[in-house]
Amino acid sequence: MPAALIDPDKTFFGTKLITTGIVVNTRLVTTAPTSWNDLLAPELASKTIMAHPLYSGAAVIHVGTFAQHKDFGWPYFEKLARGGAIAAKGNGAVIEAVARGEKAYGVIIEYMAFNAQWKGSPVSFVFPREGVTAITQPVAILKTAKNLDAARAFVDWQLSEQAQHQSVAQGYFPIFDGVAPPKGYPAVSSLKILSGDLRDILAKDEENKKRFTDLFGG
């Protein structure tokens, strides 16, 4: 399993990868961005929409991770806001705005972009060269579990190859590089995941949401 999917204390384990990158409207964009920093250019920022951490768990991780990152931090979001980027309630609103051409760029979880592309929307997804943030839909056994054998069996299944093939059928990245990802997705081993201190993100959750809301509204 990728190290980013394993809790350091081995309390919980990620069951799949859902990454956040950039979606573009291919009718409006001839040269897609390759870097997160490309979105900071005023002509791109003003055409960019993001999911809001008040409404999206993936956005909570994305914002929290960027806030910790030495190459981004809060100045990154401040520049986006000054450039005219906006935040929507969730990833669904982001893909709708980009697919309809209301915005040229969106910060979004990858499977929504790929699903829209497969359904015929004029969009494509970019994995920025600095890396992507990710959520993992983790599984754990509660200490209050009344049937430990069944709980262990469920966790074992969630982390099995059979379950990973099910995840792929649902449009998710598998956690094992030996399981082929959905059509059009890159290999798991090629992904660069921007990891963050989850305890710090949790501790600063309300602070991060307020700071983001102060920049982009709620």
pLDDT at position 210 is: 97
**Which three-class secondary structure state does DSSP give residue 215?**
helix
pLDDT at position 202 is: 92
pLDDT at position 130 is: 97
* Residues in contact with 179: Cβ distance below 8 Å, sequence separation at least 6, in sequence order: 161, 164, 165, 168, 188
Instruction: Give yes or no for a contact between 94 and 25, defined as CB atoms under 8 angstroms apart.
Output: no
pLDDT at position 24 is: 98
pLDDT at position 5 is: 82
pTM surpassing 0.75? yes
Tell me the C-alpha distance between 117 and 57, whole Å.
23
Domains of the chain: 18-135 (3.40.190.10), 142-188 (no CATH)
Q: If we measure between CA atoms, which residue out of 214, 2, 212, 3 comes closest to residue 107?
A: 212
pLDDT at position 7 is: 86
Angle at 88 between CA 195 and CA 108, to 5 degrees: 40
Query: What is the full per-residue pLDDT of the chain (218 aa) written as tens digits?
Result: 777 788 888 899 999 999 999 999 999 999 999 999 999 999 999 999 999 999 999 999 999 999 999 999 999 999 999 999 999 989 999 999 999 999 999 999 999 999 999 999 999 999 999 999 999 999 999 999 999 999 999 999 999 999 999 999 998 999 888 899 998 899 888 989 998 888 899 999 999 999 999 999 97
Question: Which burial class, exposed, middle or buried, applies to 151 when counting CB atoms under 10 A from its CB (0-12, 13-18, 19+)?
Answer: middle
pLDDT at position 9 is: 87
Q: If we measure between CA atoms, which residue out of 118, 73, 116, 115 comes closest to residue 97?
A: 116
